């Protein structure tokens, strides 16, 4: 006996053709929206993309759409970036997938891939940070070679290698040594650097001595430590430079009481939180911290053609703190005007203060901003973002100290490029 199609409440049999046409219309609309945005993103200049109507069409996609260059040099690279970052309905689809993972209690990250995220409990996220033994060995060799090059450039200047606080420690048994391998890498690098005769400051141990857990130093949804931790790290580094090498850092300028802060509630969804989405985590608060003492800073960011002068506000990109778009905003990048190959900061209020050369990554954004209050000038180099010629740094000297402060070192090839061993 043939099956009878079910009837709708109105008594009419649903028409498959109508559903199919509706599905095709939705697919066509999504493809059209994606195509328009892709063409605008990759085939037009910044001036055109900055027009109000175009900005509205591009709203909701990846951050800094109006100003960033084409993401890939080839059609395939650009298309892959666009389908990842700007696919229509990305956020609803992501939240639906994360809600399903939450129901399934899925919490198994991959060992490879950027930001392989897992839930460490209580809404605190972690990422794997795994590297093979061969990669770790290459990092150690390249780091020692880099430090030896710096020592040749500045033979009379003390060099301090600072190990950043770790997101997890021995008390995080669920994560450390199971999902989190960052401490293994830090241990290996610290051992190699000490073995080569360089000074090491292990901020992991200093943080443990405060009696606080590792996770207290970090955002819940982002891999960076908080600005409050940046103030603490700047103070410990300043104290160490003064104690070990006699560098005249103004210690009083790094006391907690020397800073003021404005807390932005629920304003920051970090890079890991963007992957887990609001279906699985809550946004972080983020503090905007500046020195409370009289200050006169001059900052230069050559890559952005930026030169600014003023108090602590001059060291902050306030456009990133407007808020309102958790998935595309990055308030942390307000510090030191985000990641740049080279940044120069002069503290004109302390013209006789020490000069410090910093090699760092994005972790130093929330460090240099505060350390500058206790120094005369700071020059910070991010080797991940471009080739900075050693001779140019020597011309910018002399410096009273060199600080290496990166969460993980740049790729060995980038370090080799700095030392000149690639030539």
The residue extents of the domains of the chain are 16-88, 125-419
DSSP 234: H
pLDDT digits (tens, 9 = 90+) for 241-288: 999 999 999 999 999 999 999 999 999 999 999 999 999 999 999 999
Q: Which residues of the chain have pLDDT under 50?
A: 1, 61-70, 422-423
SS3 5: coil
CA 309 distance to own-chain centroid: 25
Nearest to 226 by CA among 118, 329, 367: 367
Q: What is the distance between the alpha carbons of residues 246 and 238, in angstroms, rounded to a whole number?
A: 10
263 contacts 289 by C-beta, under 8 angstroms:
no
CA distances in angstroms from 66 to 122, 164, 267, 319, 323, listed in the order given: 36, 34, 22, 13, 17
Contact 352, 376 (CB under 8 A): yes
What pLDDT is stored for residue 12 in this prediction?
56
Listed in sequence order, the DSSP H helices in 182-319 are 182-195, 203-209, 227-245, 271-276
**Coil, helix or strand at residue 47:** helix
User: For position 175, what pLDDT does the model report?
Assistant: 87
Spatial CA neighbour of 357 closest among 379, 331, 385: 379
Give which of 337, 373, 339, 374 is closest to 242, Cα–Cα: 374
Which residues in 26-132 belong to E strands, given as ranges? 117-119, 125-127
Q: Is 372 helix (H, G, I), strand (E, B) or coil?
A: helix
pTM given for the model:
0.83
pLDDT in tens, 61-113: 444 333 344 455 566 776 676 666 666 677 888 899 899 989 988 888 887 76
pLDDT for 344 equals 97
């Amino acid at each position: 006996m043939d099956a009878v199609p079910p009837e709708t409440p109105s008594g009419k049999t649903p028409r498959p053709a109508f559903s199919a046409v509706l599905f095709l219309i939705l697919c066509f609309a999504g493809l059209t929206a994606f195509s328009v945005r892709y063409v605008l993103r990759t085939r037009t200049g910044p001036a055109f993309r900055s027009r109000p109507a175009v900005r509205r069409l591009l709203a909701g996609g990846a951050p800094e759409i109006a100003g960033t260059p084409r993401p890939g040099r080839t059609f395939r690279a650009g298309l892959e970036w666009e389908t990842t970052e700007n696919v229509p309905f990305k956020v609803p689809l992501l939240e639906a997938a994360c809600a399903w993972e939450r129901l399934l209690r899925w919490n198994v990250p991959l060992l490879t891939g950027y930001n392989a995220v897992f839930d460490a409990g209580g809404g605190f996220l972690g990422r794997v940070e795994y590297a093979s033994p061969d990669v770790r060995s290459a990092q150690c060799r390249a780091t020692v070679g880099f430090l030896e090059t710096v020592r040749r450039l500045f033979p009379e200047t003390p060099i301090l290698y600072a190990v950043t606080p770790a997101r997890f420690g021995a008390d995080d048994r669920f994560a450390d040594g199971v999902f989190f391998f960052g401490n293994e890498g830090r241990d290996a690098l610290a051992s190699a650097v000490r073995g080569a005769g360089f000074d090491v400051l292990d901020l992991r141990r200093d943080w443990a001595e405060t009696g606080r857990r590792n996770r207290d130093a970090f955002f819940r949804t982002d891999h960076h430590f908080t600005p409050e931790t940046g103030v603490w790290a700047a103070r410990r580094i300043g104290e160490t430079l003064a104690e070990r090498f006699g560098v005249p850092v103004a210690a009083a300028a790094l006391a907690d009481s020397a800073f003021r802060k404005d807390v932005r509630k629920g304003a920051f969804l970090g890079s890991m939180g963007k992957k887990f989405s609001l279906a699985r985590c809550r946004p972080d608060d983020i503090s905007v911290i500046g020195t409370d003492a009289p200050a006169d800073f001059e900052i230069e960011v050559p890559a952005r053609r930026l030169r600014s002068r003023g108090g602590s506000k001059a060291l902050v990109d306030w456009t990133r703190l407007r808020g309102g778009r958790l998935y595309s905003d990055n308030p942390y990048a307000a510090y030191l005007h985000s990641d740049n190959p080279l940044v120069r900061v002069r503290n004109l209020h302390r013209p006789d203060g020490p000069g410090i050369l910093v090699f760092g990554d994005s972790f130093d954004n929330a460090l240099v901003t505060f350390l500058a209050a206790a120094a005369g000038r700071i020059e910070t180099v991010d080797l991940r973002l471009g080739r900075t010629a050693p001779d140019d740094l020597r011309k910018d000297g002399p410096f009273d100290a060199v600080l290496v402060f990166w969460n993980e070192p740049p790729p060995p090839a980038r370090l080799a490029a700095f030392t000149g061993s690639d030539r």
